[in-house]
Amino acid sequence: MQVRLVVFGRQGAGKGTQCELLSERFAVPHISTGDMLRAALKDETPTGLEAKPYMESGRLLPDDIMIRLIEERLGADDAENGFLLDGFPRTAAQADALLELLGDGIDLAVDIDVPVEIVKERMVERARDDDTPEAIETRLAAYEENTVPAIERFADAGLLYRVEGVGAVDEVFGRVVSAIETRLGEG
Ligand code: AMP
């Protein structure tokens, strides 16, 4: 059963883990813009070099670059029948572009909801190169300012399912899977 899914969640909400499990469960490619950009940075491609200062400071890249990147990626053969978007859209403009590009081609957007205080605790425990305390604060602030409005676009379109993200990995996974199966059963 394939699905076209968007997954939202603050950094530290366990989104990456859930996305890996979901991608396997529904046999769809896990498209993470953060992973794509980190790979581009490592390979020093033009996009990677452009992304570097933004990623290091935790700021969002310009919408036009991201929209171009995701349009290209969604045009690839493996995304034809389903995909899981992780890290895109991050702004209302990106959400509008995606909804315009795909129309009713999105089955569901899932928001893995974990309160800010809890994700902050989790994030100090894990270390990633771009996880300086300043970058963490900047990314969480960008989420409230830019990504919450993007999530609202999916709520307005009747496509949003909000899942309680505090709990064991398999518990949260179970909640997300049943929301997706219910939605696919409706269609
Ligand atoms: P992530 O691993 O999803 O947290 O992404 C790491 C970094 O890549 C972010 O802090 C941004 O600098 C950049 N990035 C990833 N996705 C996007 C996006 N959709 N829009 C703008 N910047 C992004």
Residues of the chain where predicted confidence (pLDDT) is lower than 50? none
Rounded Cα–Cα distance for residues 113 and 134 (Å)? 22
User: 55 CA to middle of ligand 1, Å?
Assistant: 7
Inter-axis angle of helices 148-156 and 92-102, to 10 degrees?
30
Q: Which residues line ligand 1 (CB under 6 A)?
A: 11, 33-34, 37, 54-55, 58-61, 66, 87-88, 90, 94, 139
Torsion of CA 44, 49, 54, 58, to 10 degrees: 10
Cβ atoms within 10 A of the Cβ of 145, count? 11
Q: So what's the pLDDT on residue 18?
A: 97
Q: What is the pLDDT of residue 187?
A: 62
What is the Cα–Cα distance from 57 to 143, expressed in whole angstroms? Answer: 14
How far apart are alpha carbons 187 and 55 in whole angstroms? 38
* Residue 33 CB coordination number (10 Å): 20
Query: Rounded to 5 degrees, what are φ and ψ at 121?
Result: -60, -45
Closest of 164, 186, 185, 184 to residue 81, by C-alpha: 184
Ligand 1: which residue has its CA nearest to atom 4? 34
- Looking at ligand 1, which residue's alpha carbon is closest to its atom 19? 88
Question: In the chain, where does DSSP find H-type helix?
Answer: 15-25, 33-42, 46-57, 63-74, 92-102, 116-125, 133-142, 148-156, 169-186
Closest C-alpha among 119, 94, 108 to residue 15: 119
Which residue type, as a one-letter code, is found at position 30? H
pLDDT computed for residue 122 by the predictor? 84
Nearby residues of 123 by Cβ (< 8 Å), 6 or more positions away: 11, 12, 131, 136
If you ran DSSP here, which 8-state letter would residue 80 be given?
S
